[in-house]
Amino acid sequence: MFLIYSPSFTGVPDVRHLTFESLCLGRSSQSIAAGLLRFWVSLNFKKNSEFMGITVFFLDEKVNSVIHGFIPVGRANHYRPSLKAGSVVKVVCFEVATQKSFVLRLLLKHVQDN
C-alpha cells in the first residue's frame, strides 16, 4: 500500500479514486482517497500483549462511510511515522478482504508525502 498525503481529494492526475462501496475484493490496482480518522496499536492479550500491528479507520466523505484497515506487524514500523490522524491520504496497492466486514490490508512497504 502507498499512503500519499494530499490536501484534497481532487486534482491528483492519472488517479481514479473509488468510493468505499465500489471497492472489489482481492488485490488490484484500486485506489481510494480518504481521511485517516484514527489509528491505534493492536495487541494480542492472549499472547502476553504481543504486538500484532496497527488498526486504522478511513473515512470516505463522498458516501459518508468508514472502513477498517490493518497494517500487519511486519509493515507497522515502516508506516507508523507517517500516520497522522485527521490527514487526507491517497491509498493504493492494497488488498480488500472480508472479516465480518470489509477491511483494507496494506501490502507494500512504501509511503510518500505530497
Model-wide pTM > 0.75 = no
Can you tell me the distance from the alpha carbon of 82 to that of 112, in angstroms, rounded to the nearest whole number? 9
Dump pLDDT digits (tens) for 37-72. Answer: 999 999 999 999 999 999 999 888 777 788 888 888
Dump pLDDT digits (tens) for 101-114. Answer: 555 565 544 444 44
β-bridge mates for residue 22, sequence order? none
pLDDT of residue 107: 55
Nearest to 79 by CA among 99, 65, 94, 62: 94
- Structure-block grid coordinates of residue 24: 472489489
CATH number of domain containing 68: 2.40.50.140
3-state secondary structure of 103: strand
Q: Which domain holds residue 6?
A: 2-113
Radius of gyration of the chain (CA): 14
Domain tally, the chain: 1
Nearest to 2 by CA among 111, 103, 78: 111
- Structure-block grid coordinates of residue 112: 510518500
pLDDT of residue 105: 61
